[in-house]
Structure 1
Amino acid sequence: MLLYLVYSVLEAISNAVYTTVTTIWSIEQDLINLMMSTFLFVLGIVCHPIMVIPTLLGGYYILRNCWYRRAKNPRLDSSVGGDGGLMAGARQVPRIPSYRSFTVGNDTFKDD
């Protein structure tokens, strides 16, 4: 009787572990299939002959904007226009003074 009880408990644990592993495995397989089919669906839309030209134009536009944004790097010195006013798009960045420009006050130690 005791042997049958131990066998039943071990069988139940084995079935529970097997069911859990197969459930996780099937969920993983379903997610992989969903990702692959979604990717292939999007790739099919993008590579459709009607969508090739807009995709190329969009990629060119994005790359051109990134290239021009990196190429024109405004300096703080050149942010003042010819008339003395600030140019459009230039930001005012507060500058921290050098440590040499700090003046020493009266509260320093003096050797008498």
Structure 2
Amino acid sequence: MYGDTFNDENFEVGISEKGTVAMANKGPNSNGSQFFVTFRSWQFLDNMHVGFGQVVGKESLAFLDKLAEIEVDNDGLTPKKRIKIVDCQAKEVKKYKIQRRASVDQDKFE
């Protein structure tokens, strides 16, 4: 869609909530097709990764909790077991407004 990589759009959404969806990158303005979902607040990633969404709903958040229970390597990030998503669905949900960040202390998704 954008070529190999594309520039950071903005850093208005912080990485401060469980379920935040953000772009993975290799440094400034190097976004590609990969993204990550957080299991907890990772505010140290603010201004380094573009947050653009939020996992919502009890079932989806419960699924994140199950994923977070999987044992990881010493790096604290790599699962010891391979995780393979074999099916997924996009469901129509009511719109959720992502509150823009005025300060790190005010990061919150509605």
Higher share of residues assigned helix = 1
Higher relative CO (CA 8 A, sep ≥ 6), structure 1 or 2? 2
- Normalization by structure 1: what TM-score? 0.18
Q: Which has the larger radius of gyration?
A: 1
- Normalization by structure 2: what TM-score? 0.19
